[in-house]
């Protein structure tokens, strides 16, 4: 089952899509990776969802990835005597650690980490930025603030501190329990929320210990300041525009998105653009024109994948949302100007044979008018290097590992299938020729460009390119 697009689609599972029937329908509609959001649902819910995806994968006849998205630390206010207050512009408001219910003059903020990190002049954002407070005075466990942006606040609303790096781990005790459970299921990707520094990703990698690929969600301005170092610890990165849009000015979010996508592509790190992609389709059967343009722009920017959140998790039209997203991606990729954009930027090859071979394969495929490229890989490294070059031909990935094939379901333009390692170079050419015809990336007689590493099964050993014909 070949999708007529290189851009991949990630769909979030939830009450609207968790059933076996709907999961299969979404897979057949073209979903490449399913996301399990551990901010919601029980372990039993996620176990059922996992089983349904694996059943759908078997029925669809192609590898499908599963992404476990950890909740991360949630900073919240305490409660209010009457459940809710309305703060007026210019009013003064105190935040402290007294657990007593709040009122119009004060509220509890039970997080010593925030008090330790903020300073006079910093802003606190309440309820996703709907209310903004500016710190006028501070003590060890209290701050006195002025209301800059008025509005209502109520029990346990979230608190964001955009200008401070909070001295907290990106992983809570709940995240650690959820991570161990997700790894026991066998998920392919793990996403870490609210990454602030490289050490957050280093901690995740240590805990995952190679059992899944690790993805950083960029939601904090602090992460942008050390993005290059964070990417060094990443197998993938998500432009998580929801919380990022709370802490950054709206006009800064598109610029941040382009920065993240460009820096990730230079390193060959797969990317996801997420949040509010087709938000109106939670309750409407068609998107707004602005949403269609937003999705299209991400495709023009060369992102590996687009993500649907509430649209498929809780929306009324999950199948329609996937279908619309798929059609938009297909239409953009059919634009005569799109190939030029993909070809305009290529990372400078590192001084290593694998990079040179991957760059040469793209050039050879164009010069020979090849129908597709075929990449043999054990761990996915060869395929990722080829995908970074953004070849315009389909890329058939052949691997002996179903785990590798599922991980690569997230990556731009890759169509992975599980095969045995070839016995020798001639067997490699024979397998590539037969599989490209069988899967549909080439017709018998078409030229194909093959890349691989000798000896077969060696990690990161891409050192061979060959041109053959499909059979």
Q: Tokens standing for 135?
A: 């710190």
pLDDT computed for residue 188 by the predictor: 98
DSSP reduced 3-state for 331 = helix
Burial class (CB in 10 A: 0-12, 13-18, 19+), 351: exposed
Catalytic residue among 7, 23, 275, 382: 275
- What value does the mean pLDDT take over residues 79-92? 96
Helix (H) or strand (E) holding 274: strand 271-274
Task: Look at 357 and 34; give whichever has higher pLDDT.
Answer: 34
- What value does the mean pLDDT take over residues 363-387? 94
Instruction: Give the C-alpha separation, 132 to 341, whole Å.
Output: 40
Instruction: Give the C-alpha separation, 442 to 434, whole Å.
Output: 9
Count of residues for the chain? 471
Does pLDDT of 435 surpass 70?
A: yes
Considering the entire predicted model, what is its pTM? 0.93
15-70 pLDDT, tens per residue?
999 999 999 999 999 999 999 999 999 999 999 999 999 999 999 999 999 999 99
pLDDT computed for residue 339 by the predictor: 92
Band (6; pLDDT cuts 50, 70, 90)? very high
Last residue within a domain, chosen from 335, 368, 397: 335
Nearest to 378 by CA among 467, 448, 460, 464: 460
Are 236 and 379 in a shared domain? no
Band (455; pLDDT cuts 50, 70, 90)? confident
DSSP at 421: P
Instruction: Give the C-alpha separation, 294 to 434, whole Å.
Output: 39
Nearest to 446 by CA among 372, 374, 395, 364: 372
Residues 326-341 as b/e (b if ≥16 CB within 10 A, e otherwise) read: bebbbebbeeeebeee
Instruction: Give the C-alpha separation, 125 to 133, whole Å.
Output: 6
Last residue within a domain, chosen from 293, 315, 335: 335
Q: Tokens standing for 258?
A: 């382009």
Mean pLDDT, the chain, whole residue set: 94
393 falls within a domain = yes
The CATH number that applies at residue 127 is 2.40.33.10
430 contacts 394 by C-beta, under 8 angstroms:
no
Q: Tokens standing for 291?
A: 């949403």
Nearest 5°: CA angle at 365, between 264 and 270?
15
pLDDT computed for residue 460 by the predictor: 64
236-271 pLDDT, tens per residue?
999 999 889 998 989 999 999 999 999 999 999 999
pLDDT computed for residue 204 by the predictor: 97
pLDDT computed for residue 179 by the predictor: 98
Catalytic residue among 5, 106, 157, 217: 217
CB atoms within 10 A of CB 67: 29
197 falls within a domain = yes
Instruction: Give the C-alpha separation, 353 to 462, whole Å.
Output: 7
CB atoms within 10 A of CB 408: 28
Are 189 and 308 in a shared domain? yes
Instruction: Give the C-alpha separation, 186 to 66, whole Å.
Output: 9
Does pLDDT of 109 surpass 90?
A: yes
367 falls within a domain = yes
Phi and psi angles of residue 463, each rounded to the nearest 5 degrees, phi first: -150, 15
Band (345; pLDDT cuts 50, 70, 90)? confident
74 contacts 128 by C-beta, under 8 angstroms:
no
431 contacts 419 by C-beta, under 8 angstroms:
yes
Phi and psi angles of residue 79, each rounded to the nearest 5 degrees, phi first: -100, 170
pLDDT computed for residue 446 by the predictor: 96
Instruction: Give the C-alpha separation, 274 to 308, whole Å.
Output: 7
Catalytic residue among 54, 76, 174, 176: 76
In the block, which residue shows the tokens 């002049």? 121
pLDDT computed for residue 415 by the predictor: 96
Band (285; pLDDT cuts 50, 70, 90)? very high
Nearest to 73 by CA among 197, 185, 159, 186: 159
179-235 pLDDT, tens per residue?
999 999 999 999 999 999 999 999 999 999 999 999 999 999 999 999 999 999 999
Are 289 and 361 in a shared domain? no
Instruction: Give the C-alpha separation, 33 to 36, whole Å.
Output: 10
236 falls within a domain = yes
113-148 pLDDT, tens per residue?
999 999 999 999 999 899 999 999 999 999 999 999
pLDDT computed for residue 164 by the predictor: 87
In the block, which residue shows the tokens 């009457």? 82
213 contacts 236 by C-beta, under 8 angstroms:
yes
2 falls within a domain = no
466 is catalytic: no
Are 47 and 193 in a shared domain? yes
In the block, which residue shows the tokens 């590493």? 453
pLDDT computed for residue 352 by the predictor: 72
pLDDT computed for residue 126 by the predictor: 96
pLDDT computed for residue 163 by the predictor: 86
Tell me the CA end-to-end span of the chain in Å, nearest whole number. Answer: 19
pLDDT computed for residue 459 by the predictor: 72
Are 196 and 331 in a shared domain? yes
Task: Count up the domains in the chain and report the number.
Answer: 3
Does pLDDT of 456 surpass 70?
A: yes
425 falls within a domain = yes
Band (318; pLDDT cuts 50, 70, 90)? very high
Does pLDDT of 1 surpass 60?
A: no
- C-alpha distance from residue 398 to each of 290, 394, 431 (Å): 39, 13, 9
Are 124 and 213 in a shared domain? no
The CATH number that applies at residue 211 is 3.20.20.60
Instruction: Give the C-alpha separation, 136 to 146, whole Å.
Output: 7
**C-alpha 230, offset from chain centre:** 14
3-state helix, strand, coil in the chain (%, to 5): 40, 25, 40
Last residue within a domain, chosen from 160, 194, 227: 160
pLDDT computed for residue 347 by the predictor: 67
Helix (H) or strand (E) holding 450: strand 447-453
253 contacts 260 by C-beta, under 8 angstroms:
no
265 is catalytic: no
400 falls within a domain = yes
390 is catalytic: no
The fraction of the chain above a pLDDT of 90, given in percent, is 88
Domain that includes residue 113, residue range: 84-160
159-195 pLDDT, tens per residue?
999 888 888 888 999 999 999 999 999 999 999 999 9
Catalytic residue among 35, 106, 362, 390: 35
Nearest 5°: CA angle at 298, between 295 and 303?
130
Are 33 and 138 in a shared domain? no
Are 104 and 44 in a shared domain? no
Are 107 and 60 in a shared domain? no
Are 191 and 325 in a shared domain? yes
79 falls within a domain = no
35 is catalytic: yes
pLDDT computed for residue 348 by the predictor: 67
Are 135 and 67 in a shared domain? no
Are 151 and 250 in a shared domain? no
The CATH number that applies at residue 418 is 3.40.1380.20
């Amino acid at each position: 089952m070949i999708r007529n697009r290189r851009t991949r689609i990630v769909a979030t599972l939830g009450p609207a899509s968790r059933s076996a029937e709907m999961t299969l329908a979404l897979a057949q509609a073209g979903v490449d990776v399913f996301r399990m959001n551990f901010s919601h649902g029980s372990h039993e819910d996620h176990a059922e969802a996992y089983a349904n995806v694996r059943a759908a994968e078997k029925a669809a006849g192609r590898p499908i990835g599963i992404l476990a998205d950890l909740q991360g630390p949630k900073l919240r206010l305490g409660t209010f005597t009457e459940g809710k207050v309305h703060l007026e512009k210019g009013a003064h408001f105190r935040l402290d650690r007294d657990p007593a219910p709040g009122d119009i003059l004060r509220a509890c903020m039970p997080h010593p980490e925030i008090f330790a990190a903020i300073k006079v002049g910093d802003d606190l954002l309440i309820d996703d930025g709907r209310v903004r407070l500016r710190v006028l005075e501070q003590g060890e466990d209290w701050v006195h603030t002025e209301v800059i942006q008025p509005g209502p606040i109520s029990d346990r609303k979230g608190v964001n501190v955009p200008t401070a790096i909070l001295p907290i781990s990106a992983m809570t005790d709940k995240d650690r329990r959820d991570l161990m459970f997700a790894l026991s299921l066998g998920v392919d990707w793990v996403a870490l929320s609210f990454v602030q520094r490289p050490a957050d990703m280093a901690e995740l990698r240590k805990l995952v210990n190679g059992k899944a690929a690790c993805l950083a969600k960029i939601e904090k301005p602090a992460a942008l300041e050390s993005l290059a170092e964070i990417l060094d610890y990443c197998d993938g990165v998500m432009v998580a525009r929801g919380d990022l849009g709370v802490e950054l000015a709206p006009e800064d979010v598109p610029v941040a998105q382009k920065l993240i996508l460009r820096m990730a592509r230079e390193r060959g790190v797969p990317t996801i653009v997420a949040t509010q992609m087709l938000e109106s389709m939670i309750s409407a059967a068609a998107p707004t024109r602005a949403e269609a343009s937003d999705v299209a722009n991400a495709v023009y920017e060369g992102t590996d994948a687009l993500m649907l959140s509430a649209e498929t998790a809780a929306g009324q039209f999950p199948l329609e949302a996937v279908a619309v997203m798929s059609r938009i991606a297909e239409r953009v990729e059919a634009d005569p100007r799109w190939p030029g954009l993909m070809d305009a930027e290529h990372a400078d090859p590192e001084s290593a044979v694998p990079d040179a071979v991957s760059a040469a394969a793209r050039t050879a495929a164009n010069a020979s008018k090849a129908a597709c490229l075929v990449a043999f890989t054990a761990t996915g490294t060869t395929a990722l290097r080829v995908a970074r070059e953004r070849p315009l031909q389909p890329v058939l990935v052949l691997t002996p590992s179903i785990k590798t094939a599922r991980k690569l379901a997230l990556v731009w333009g890759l169509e992975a299938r599980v095969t045995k390692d070839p016995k020798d170079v001639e067997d490699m050419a024979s397998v590539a020729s037969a599989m490209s015809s069988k899967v549909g990336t080439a017709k018998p007689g078409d030229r194909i460009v093959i890349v691989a590493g000798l000896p077969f099964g060696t990690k990161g050993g891409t050192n061979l390119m060959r041109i053959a014909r499909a059979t």
